[in-house]
Amino acid sequence: MTVEKKTRGPMPPIPLTVLTGFLGSGKTTVLNRLLTADDMADTAVIVNEFGEVGIDHLLVETADEGIIEMSSGCLCCTIRGDLINTLEGLLRGRDNGRVTPFRRVIIETTGLADPAPVLHTIMNHPYLVMRYRLDGVVTVIDAINGSATLDAQEESVKQAAVADRIVLTKTDLCTTPADLAALESLRTRLTALNPAAVVLDAAKGEAVAERLLDTGLFTADSKIPDVARWLNAESYGGGETSHGHHHHDRNRHDDHIGAFCVTSAQPITVNSFNLFCELLRSAYGAQLLRVKGLVLLADEPDRPVVIHGVQHVFHPPVRLDRWPDGERRTRIVFITRDLPKNQLDDLFKAFAVPIDGVEARAAYEARDELSGEPRGGLFRQ
């Protein structure tokens, strides 16, 4: 076992991927294949039960309480007590040198799980948010039963709606013309639910680490943010998908889901943006499945702010050094439930009013003298 060399200054946050999918979707098979890949060494995997993961041939020794060390260099542990305790326990073992240093974490949720509470834990816990960073959400969907599951299970719709990557399994079993037509219909349905998610085919060998991981704002080997790839705002076009355009059956779960992008070339003051976010969370938190955005603030228009939220919980904002694409305008991507685009458009426009010099100066002076960050709202210390 090797121990990482101590370095001065804070360690970079560890990327964390959430792997979800409904019962029988094949997510454990996807996980098992990932664990045997050479590029998955130095990965810690958190699963619900050891028995679901085929690790018998990979088992080396118990490295710490509840943590299994595998020959691939990965670690595997079950959720003990709650997710916070498990994540903290992994960090203690890593920091104390009791387990092999890991550079990535994958959490496999239960098949019935709404992934939102897991995302809340990573984005909102004061210690975990410093040590981990959410890299992305991977959702596995059974090509044979996927449409029926989406029809019957609301949680499966949420799993697809919040995903950064969607993996279709069992596509090789779709051989008849009816099966192939149903598969194409499922793909169309998933695109309407989540236009920005990349859909991969496991049977074609596409569910590999280089395509499932490093989907977040920062890649594992670079501190330079790839906002365009992460946000993928252009996939939403100029309008709204799902509800608002496809009134097929209001009893169908995904007809309640909306996916759209709110844009504005008008700067917004820090105070106004904080008020917008507070109102957004308090009034519509339960309806916000996921929010990602790049915001033009009046105090420093050359340095945009990245926001990321799941329901009422928002990750501490990240201030970039410059606009990644030279296009200085706000772009906020929303995946919502029963919350139409025009409602959020109107709300943002109500706060992004024309800025004069007095207001811009007041917004700048509202910044904390010591930290340089604005007081209150998302920027609260």
Same domain for 206 and 262, yes or no, is: no
According to DSSP, residue 80 is labeled: -
pLDDT in tens, 232-243: 888 887 556 655
Same domain for 183 and 274, yes or no, is: no
Same domain for 259 and 138, yes or no, is: no
Same domain for 49 and 115, yes or no, is: yes
Same domain for 141 and 47, yes or no, is: yes
Q: Is residue 27 part of a domain?
A: yes
Least Cα distance to 71 among 54, 53, 58, 56 occurs for: 58
CATH number reported for the structural domain that contains residue 361 in this entry: 3.30.1220.10
Q: Which of 212, 232, 253 is the last residue of a domain?
A: 212
Q: Which residues of the chain have pLDDT under 50?
A: 1-9, 56-63, 244-247, 357-375, 380-381
For 318-372, the DSSP string reads EE-SS-SSS--SEEEEEEEES--HHHHHHHHHHH-----HHHHHHHHHTB-TTT-
Q: Is residue 62 part of a domain?
A: yes
- Say which residues have a Cβ less than 8 Å from residue 272's Cβ, sequence separation at least 6: 351, 352, 353, 363
Q: How far is it, in rounded angstroms, from Cα 188 to Cα 173?
A: 19
Q: Which of 212, 232, 256 is the last residue of a domain?
A: 212
Token pair belonging to 237: 């076009």
Q: Please say whether the beta carbons of 232 and 163 come within 8 A.
A: no
Backbone angles phi, psi at 78, to 5 degrees: -95, 160
Same domain for 159 and 203, yes or no, is: yes
Q: Is residue 203 part of a domain?
A: yes
Q: Which residue has the tokens 């991969």?
A: 200
How many structural domains is the chain composed of? 2
Amino acid at residue number 144: I
Q: Is residue 8 part of a domain?
A: no
**pLDDT score recorded for residue 280:** 94
Q: Please say whether the beta carbons of 291 and 101 come within 8 A.
A: no
Q: Is residue 3 part of a domain?
A: no
Same domain for 207 and 245, yes or no, is: no
CATH number reported for the structural domain that contains residue 86 in this entry: 3.40.50.300
Q: How far is it, in rounded angstroms, from Cα 83 to Cα 225?
A: 28
Same domain for 115 and 254, yes or no, is: no
What CA dihedral angle connects 36, 40, 45 and 48, to 10 degrees? -40
| Element holding 304 (H helix, E strand) | none
Q: How far is it, in rounded angstroms, from Cα 90 to Cα 99?
A: 8
Domain residues for 291? 240-379
Same domain for 195 and 306, yes or no, is: no
Please give the order of strands across the beta sheet that includes 14-21: 59-64, 67-70, 75-78, 43-47, 104-108, 14-21, 132-142, 165-169, 198-201
Q: Is residue 144 part of a domain?
A: yes
Same domain for 303 and 371, yes or no, is: yes
β-pair partners for 336: 258, 288
Same domain for 43 and 190, yes or no, is: yes
Q: Is residue 227 part of a domain?
A: no
**pLDDT score recorded for residue 283:** 93
- Say which residues have a Cβ less than 8 Å from residue 152's Cβ, sequence separation at least 6: none
Q: Is residue 45 part of a domain?
A: yes
**pLDDT score recorded for residue 375:** 46
Same domain for 41 and 135, yes or no, is: yes
